[in-house]
Chains A and B, each alone.
Chain A
């Protein structure tokens, strides 16, 4: 306590600029410079681009105020794409969470070959997303694809759709690939949480005559609640920005039916060289994801305080 009082009497300048503080600044400097150069500067520049007219090289040319935003916000297609981005994320994350939970429960049961099963489950997540997406593009190929060939050969579906060529099948096909890639992450995180729950709880519950479903809802789920929150938040951020899957499978087609903000943003910036609309989309994405992260953080910390 005395130390704090003594520190408070030292002038601010001396507190911030003494040999110890200087060493701290020196040690922090590389990280701060990297952060400023590679994270803060691009974000600030994107905000600036959204307020300016630019040339084809993204150089600022003329201040436009909110005109770029107004142009986008009065475009029906922009709202369709934003809505699609939201339900793309909601559906994909929900399915990943449910299937991830089921897989985690299966991997948590003791049986021979469990380690091999765990390793195999990681494969989709451990593979590079572009490679997985290219593989799935071949699976969906209407002429030589494994999926349609199997559906026809087994008689399950005599006339399967052109998966990547029609709006609903294309959206379903894309979202399935995103889910397929994302399940292992969810499963592994949930599994890690499940393994940290004491066996004693399950044993005493069994003695009390609690069934499996009740154990899941009253022991497992509350025990991994925090991990579920964090994993779904991270998954939301990644899924909302899942460019690779959609771009490789459909490039946002057919007729824009699978375009989400990130793919449209890319097209505007790097195919049409229209950087201002792309920046507006990036800003909107930034606010949506920041809002999501804040909401999650509030829920998380409220729960922490409640404990």
Chain B
């Protein structure tokens, strides 16, 4: 009897082992749900790759952008990372500090890499490409031409024109979210436009102590506070509205100006906007040079994932114009591949404006603690909006907190 049980056990083990051995490679891809991206596209990409590569399964898992970092962190910490994940490029530093990510050129073909625009390679850190750029877009301003045709050359002109056309609650001069959301974009537009920056640059190129509380930073925040509280030209209840809540007011045609990203055209199409939109540059403050914000996202490949080679094959497939250009078109980002950038659909006024903005745009400072820094500065902004503190006092307090959080 015992012998029989033993034989059965051996057979079961052999069968299980055989099943594992015969299992198809499976690439899991944590896929960010960008505005404009459709389920139909995700499914068709998945099916097309599997049809072309019958020995590989791919599971493209759609995830809300706000939840992506948590989902990725818990998967990596749990020892079960996906093969691929869309990340904010700035997250790479955290991932590199734990030796979690693989250099892209180890699995992605040279042909694919040669087709990526050099300017999109923000993920090249210390000479190594740690993430494959998936989206890179500078921020621009969109003007509702049904309300105004004035294209302001400076922030001061923008404020004057927004004030002139603002007739709340029917029409607002400018959309400005006042409730914290994932990114600290809004303060950044004004900070960069005032010639400011977040941190001092050390001699070795690293980021030093906080400087966003210097006169440029204070000028930027004071300007935002004045527009919202003195001029009252921003949308009503701006303190309770995030970017996602407030941009629809612009799409509805009830605001003259909005500072926004590449998704504006597809979002307006989805919202069935009826007005004529004009895409222009975010103006600098008088006496300053234009400087917009550019944000890049990348695809990370995880070292501990099982099928990294197959993940590379998938990326080679995805980065063909047939798929990647369609992706860019859906999400509205300017293409990161050289070949797609030449396609006719990317020669529109929107892409021209985005291209022009990219020439002078700056990215976020690449620091490990960016998420916390961003949260602290957001709180400082809100304290100033609420009148709890002056912009200078709020930014000084935030700078001290940021330096403490970074151990400086």
Contact = CB atoms under 8 A, between A and B. Distances in A.
In the complex, which range does the number of interface residues on chain B fall in?
35 or more
A287 B249 CA distance: 46
B365 interface: no
Nearest to B239: A165
B156 interface: no
A56 B95 CA distance: 8
B383 A273 contact: no
Contacts of A271: 69-70, 371-372, 375
Contact of B236 (A58, A143, A253, A274): A143
Contacts of A256: 379
A217 B100 CA distance: 64
Contacts of A57: 73, 76-77, 98, 100
Given A162-B239, A165-B178, A273-B371, A56 B69 contact: no
B292 interface: no
A253 B180 contact: yes
A59 interface: yes
Interface string A237-256: 00000000000000101111
Interface in B147-186: 178-180
Nearest to B401: A77
Contacts of A163: 240
Contact of A142 (B70, B180, B237, B372): B237
B404 to A, nearest CB: 9
A56 B245 contact: no
A187 to B, nearest CB: 31
A56 B236 contact: no
B248 to A, nearest CB: 9
A251 B371 CA distance: 14
B382 A253 contact: yes
Given A141-B245, A272-B369, A254 B375 contact: no
Given A55-B98, A141-B240, A270 B386 contact: no
A62 B95 CA distance: 19
Interface in B78-120: 94-95, 97-98, 100
Interface string B238-263: 11110001000100000000000000
B53 interface: no
B64 interface: no
B327 to A, nearest CB: 27
A11 to B, nearest CB: 31
A7 B356 CA distance: 90
Interface in B289-329: none
Given A267-B375, A271-B375, A164 B249 contact: no
A164 B240 contact: yes
Contacts of B28: none
A166 interface: yes
B237 A273 contact: no
Interface in A143-195: 143, 148, 162-167
A270 B375 contact: no
A143 B235 contact: yes
B46 to A, nearest CB: 28
B388 interface: yes
Dominant secondary structure at the A interface: loop
Contact of B240 (A55, A58, A142, A274): A142
A143 B77 contact: no
B95 to A, nearest CB: 8
Contact of B239 (A58, A148, A166): A166
A56 B369 contact: no
A52 interface: no
A167 B387 CA distance: 12
A136 interface: no
Contact of A254 (B70, B94, B179): B179
Interface in B201-248: 235-241, 245
Contacts of B249: 143
A307 to B, nearest CB: 48
A140 B97 contact: no
A255 B97 contact: no
Contacts of B372: 271-272, 274
Interface in A37-56: 55-56
B98 A165 contact: no
A165 B239 CA distance: 4
B388 A56 contact: no
A145 B4 CA distance: 71
B112 to A, nearest CB: 29
B97 A251 contact: no
A150 B180 CA distance: 26
A194 to B, nearest CB: 41
Contacts of A58: 77
A253 B98 CA distance: 31
A253 B73 contact: no
Contacts of A253: 179-180, 378-379, 382
Nearest to A256: B379
Contact of A270 (B73, B178, B238, B240): B73
Contacts of A55: 97-98
Interface of A: 55-59, 140-143, 148, 162-167, 251, 253-256, 267, 270-274
Interface of B: 69-70, 73-74, 76-77, 94-95, 97-98, 100, 178-180, 235-241, 245, 249, 368-369, 371-372, 375, 378-380, 382-383, 386, 388
User: Top 4 closest A-B pairs, CB basis?
Assistant: A142-B237, A165-B239, A165-B240, A162-B240
Given A56-B368, A164-B179, A255-B380, 8 more contacts: A56-B73, A57-B73, A140-B240, A143-B237, A165-B237, A253-B179, A271-B371, A272-B372
26 contacts: A55-B98, A57-B73, A57-B77, A57-B98, A59-B98, A140-B240, A141-B240, A142-B236, A143-B237, A148-B237, A162-B238, A162-B239, A163-B240, A165-B178, A165-B238, A166-B239, A254-B179, A255-B386, A255-B388, A270-B73, A271-B69, A271-B371, A271-B375, A272-B371, A273-B94, A274-B372
